[in-house]
Amino acid sequence: MGQLSNRTIAVLSDSGFEETELTSPVERLKEEGATVHIISSKAGKIKAMKGDNEWTIDVDVDKTISEAKAENYHGLLIPGGVLNPDSLRKNDEAIAFVKDFFKAGKPVAAICHGPQVLITAEVVSGRKMTSTKTIKIDLQNAGAEWYDEEVVIDQGLVTSRSPKDLPAFNDKIVEKFAESIHEGQHS
């Protein structure tokens, strides 16, 4: 049995996610025994990107955001990519879903552009975070303390910069999802 046996993790994504920022963490979570559900705005499949302009694989959606409830999950993962977070930020149900994880003190992980969703959910003020450099100013303007490190942990919040940081990111999300509730995580 892995560290995450008896844990169910939500992966919140729409089409346009960076392929490895979803596939690599999901593979690691499953290796550790977690049940992983892909949650998206629409049923069916979502499409990955590699870089900013190459569409790649399709990933099956397990539940729509309207069907999913944070109370049924032990943690939340938000992959990056340029298009994915931008799509999620416009979806009030997605933002409410994210906020529910913070209200419950559950661990949340976001990589690359994924923290943009956290900005819209208004849960970054006073938090130590990292991201792709292109949204550094956005995070700082929302009140986050930004660090140029491969992975930054603030209570139950795990953030990372890019696909090159996935090994460290994957290790830390396993650790935090195994811990479960983080009192300092509350928004």
pLDDT tens per residue across span 101-148: 999 999 999 999 999 999 999 999 999 999 999 999 999 999 999 999
Confidence class of residue 185 from pLDDT cuts 50, 70 and 90?
Answer: low
Confidence check: pLDDT of 181 > 90: no
Please give the pLDDT value at position 51: 81
9, 59, 98, 112: the active-site residue: 112
Please give the pLDDT value at position 128: 98
Please give the pLDDT value at position 36: 98
Confidence class of residue 158 from pLDDT cuts 50, 70 and 90?
Answer: very high
Tell me, yes or no, if the pTM score tops 0.75.
yes
Q: Beta strands 151-154 and 157-160: pairing type?
A: antiparallel
Mean pLDDT of the chain: 95
Q: Beta strands 75-78 and 108-111: pairing type?
A: parallel
Q: Are 92 and 120 in contact (CB under 8 A)?
A: no
Q: Are 103 and 187 in contact (CB under 8 A)?
A: yes
Confidence check: pLDDT of 58 > 80: yes
Annotated catalytic residue 112: yes
Q: Which of 67, 80, 100 is nearest to 21 (CA)?
A: 80
